[in-house]
Structure 1
Amino acid sequence: MLLFARYIRFYPLLLAVVFASMMPSGASAAPPPFPDSELIERSEESVSRYRLVLSELKHQRADTFGERELRVSGERERTVYNLPDGVSLEEVRVYFRRQTDGQRTLYECIGIDCGSSNFWANDVFDLSSLVSRDKDQAYFVTIEPYADTQKLTMVYISMRGGRQPKVLIDQLVTRAPLKIGQVTQDEVLASLSVTSGWLPGFVADSRGVNVTESQILFDAIQGLSVGLKTRLHLMVHCYDGAHIKDTLECSERLAEQVRKALPGIDVRALGALTPAPAADRRPAVRFTFWPGR
């Protein structure tokens, strides 16, 4: 019994060590809490079938489920916060989207597009206190791939209809291969829903842009409204070269190809003046809407 008691006492610490050991070198930490929020739960555990929802919901007979779902095994760290009174859903959503800048967005929904809040709170996260009016919720998933692991970040925001608003953040590190597939136009548009950040779907190396494989990104940008396109500015970053001058020259070559693919969009070459969004230091495109989105 004494040994069992000691095991129970140190089990949370053991899980923390396991979770930390799986975190790849250079991986980003969990998103920092929203200002003036209150931590109400923090836990770490091994999960074998985490329910990862990557699409809008479907209803069939009495069942509600994601049109696209994965079951993922790994080490999960969960934090839940009470949000300060008086904040808006959009203010909280934009804050956490900025904290995950540089990560690939797999899915995002806002308000009634997320479907049933009861489904998210009870069926996905098993936390009934997250139930809200369907119009007062938001959810997104991002992924960071590394050499032998992948880190998923799930954020669910619940404004709870005038009661204490909450946000849940799950981070899951897995060694299992995930069948995510090619970047979708919805992922690109989700990234473009904030004022600035990195864009998914840009395929290039120091020799040039793969226009065919980058077409989903280009089509999503071309499909923006005229007003958004006039405020959109793209910055191409190439990290190939021993000196900043080399990276700027490489970036200019890539930027010229992007300008041809996106006539009328302001495209600039900024080399390695901004740190790479991923450890592989592949060419990347950052965007900003100015003045504002």
Structure 2
Amino acid sequence: MSVCSSRHSLSSRLALTLFASLLPWLQAEASVLLAFPQAELEEERVRSSSSYRVMLSPIREVGSELRAENSVRLAVEGSGQLFRMAPGITRQDARRWYLEQLQNRGASILFQCSGRECGRSNVWANQVFDLSTLYGRDAQQEYLVAGFEDGEGGRWLVVLYTVTRGNQREYLWLEQLQLADDAVLPGLDGEGGRLAGPVIVPWEGSVSVSFEWGAESQRILDSMASDPNARIVIAGFSGLEPGETLEAATDRAERAANTMSDLLDRSGLSSSRHIVRAIGPLVRFSTPERPENRIEILVIRPPEGSSGNE
């Protein structure tokens, strides 16, 4: 009896040792992006669901109900990880680290927001992610969803949320979710990762056009368009105002698109790479993150082996 017990104990220890040795490999299988090295992993959760909800628009809470203009439910397998930035390191540093990896994988940005336009931080923390540590300042938060295909044809969704808490600590929540083969997600087009974007830029004005355009948007676009052979599509949209003709509305959209082209050219993204199109009010698709008066910027990478002159 003593011998059997000893053998059982030895077997258990061997099994635990084997599991411990395999754990990093199992965790790596659920992750495709390298972890930001200047942050501490505080918590990790398994994400396995046949109907996992991913937000693709700003959120709000009505009563106790979570509302979003655009969201999807998908069958996923993956992980969620909570990172705390090391002293002297900002959440923007970590965000850039992951954005660069996404760009290198040809990821498409499906939705992004920053600050108060995302909604209330406590709703993201408690209702979306179920993680109170992420409750921070509404003005100091960013949210991004991107998708890409890996080298074996698997499709991945990356959810990135960063926030600064009231105590000045900065956190990043990262979800890496592999989609089921039959999952349908608009924006993952199966074109080998050649399309990236859109970056959505609201605009206002008529004769003089102004944009909601900041350093973070510029960094994202620079990363998306880092291939010098990639083309940059700048599409101008506009609403049809009372008493306005279709031609006048389209002209406003064209002025906005040309102004954005000039801005990008001055920022270092040469106008020789631009394709400018005025859509005007011809496409009716308006949500809080896609207002009627907006610019949508897409980046089209060349096929492999191509010089980029499509």
Which residue is equivalent to 1:78?
80
Which residue is equivalent to 1:164?
169
Which residue is equivalent to 1:197?
223
Matched, 1:179 2:190: no
**How many aligned positions are there?**
232
Query: What SS is found at the alignment partner of 1:194?
Result: helix
Which structure 2 residue ranges, 5 or more long, are not aligned?
1-8, 190-194, 202-215, 238-253, 278-299
Q: Which structure 2 residues correspond to residues 210-229 of structure 1 after superposition, within 5 A?
A: 216=235, 222=258, 224=260, 226-229=262-265
Query: What SS is found at the alignment partner of 1:129?
Result: helix
- Alignment TM-score, normalising by the size of structure 2: 0.58
Which residue is equivalent to 1:134?
138
**Percent identical:** 23
Q: In 2 relative to 1, CA 222–105 (structure 1 residues): closer, same or farther, beyond 3 Å?
A: farther
Check the 8 A contact 2:75/2:183 in 1, yes or no: no
Greater C-alpha Rg? 2
Matched, 1:113 2:138: no
Q: In 2 relative to 1, CA 161–95 (structure 1 residues): closer, same or farther, beyond 3 Å?
A: farther
Which residue is equivalent to 1:153?
158
Q: Which structure 2 residues correspond to residues 15-54 of structure 1 after superposition, within 5 A?
A: 17=26, 20=29, 29-33=32-36, 35-54=37-56
Give the whole-Å Cα distance in 2 for the aligned partners of 1:182 and 1:120: 24
CA drift of 1:36 comes to 2.6
CA deviation string 1:101-125 (max 9, x = no partner): 2311111111111111111111111
Give the whole-Å Cα distance in 1 for the aligned partners of 2:52 and 2:305: 31
Check the 8 A contact 1:110/1:138 in 2, yes or no: yes
- Alignment TM-score, normalising by the size of structure 1: 0.61
Which residue is equivalent to 2:304?
281
CA drift of 1:139 comes to 1.0
Matched, 1:231 2:271: no
Q: Match for 1:281: what amino acid?
A: E
CA deviation string 1:2-24 (max 9, x = no partner): 999969x949958964973x88x
Q: In 2 relative to 1, CA 221–145 (structure 1 residues): closer, same or farther, beyond 3 Å?
A: farther
Q: Match for 2:218: what amino acid?
A: S
Name the stretch that deviates more: 50-59 or 145-154: 145-154
Give the whole-Å Cα distance in 2 for the aligned partners of 1:55 and 1:141: 10
Which residue is equivalent to 1:240?
none
Query: What SS is found at the alignment partner of 1:32?
Result: coil
Q: In 2 relative to 1, CA 17–134 (structure 1 residues): closer, same or farther, beyond 3 Å?
A: same
Q: Match for 1:187: what amino acid?
A: P
Check the 8 A contact 1:50/1:71 in 2, yes or no: yes
Query: What SS is found at the alignment partner of 1:167?
Result: strand
CA drift of 1:179 comes to 3.0
Supply the RMSD in Å over aligned alpha carbons. Answer: 4.5
Q: Match for 2:183: what amino acid?
A: P
Q: Match for 1:63: what amino acid?
A: E
Give the whole-Å Cα distance in 2 for the aligned partners of 1:179 and 1:118: 27
Name the stretch that deviates more: 49-58 or 145-154: 145-154
CA drift of 1:67 comes to 1.1
Q: In 2 relative to 1, CA 224–82 (structure 1 residues): closer, same or farther, beyond 3 Å?
A: same
Give the whole-Å Cα distance in 1 for the aligned partners of 2:305 and 2:70: 29
Which structure 1 residue ranges, 5 or more long, are not aligned?
24-28, 236-254, 264-275, 286-293
Give the whole-Å Cα distance in 2 for the aligned partners of 1:193 and 1:136: 18
Give the whole-Å Cα distance in 2 for the aligned partners of 1:141 and 1:109: 10
Which residue is equivalent to 1:242?
none
Give the whole-Å Cα distance in 1 for the aligned partners of 2:60 and 2:42: 32
Give the whole-Å Cα distance in 1 for the aligned partners of 2:113 and 2:197: 10
Q: In 2 relative to 1, CA 74–262 (structure 1 residues): closer, same or farther, beyond 3 Å?
A: closer
Check the 8 A contact 2:61/2:123 in 1, yes or no: no
Give the whole-Å Cα distance in 2 for the aligned partners of 1:43 and 1:284: 43
Give the whole-Å Cα distance in 2 for the aligned partners of 1:182 and 1:46: 20
Check the 8 A contact 1:89/1:137 in 2, yes or no: no
Query: What SS is found at the alignment partner of 2:260?
Result: coil
CA deviation string 1:125-165 (max 9, x = no partner): 11111110111211111100356531011111121122432
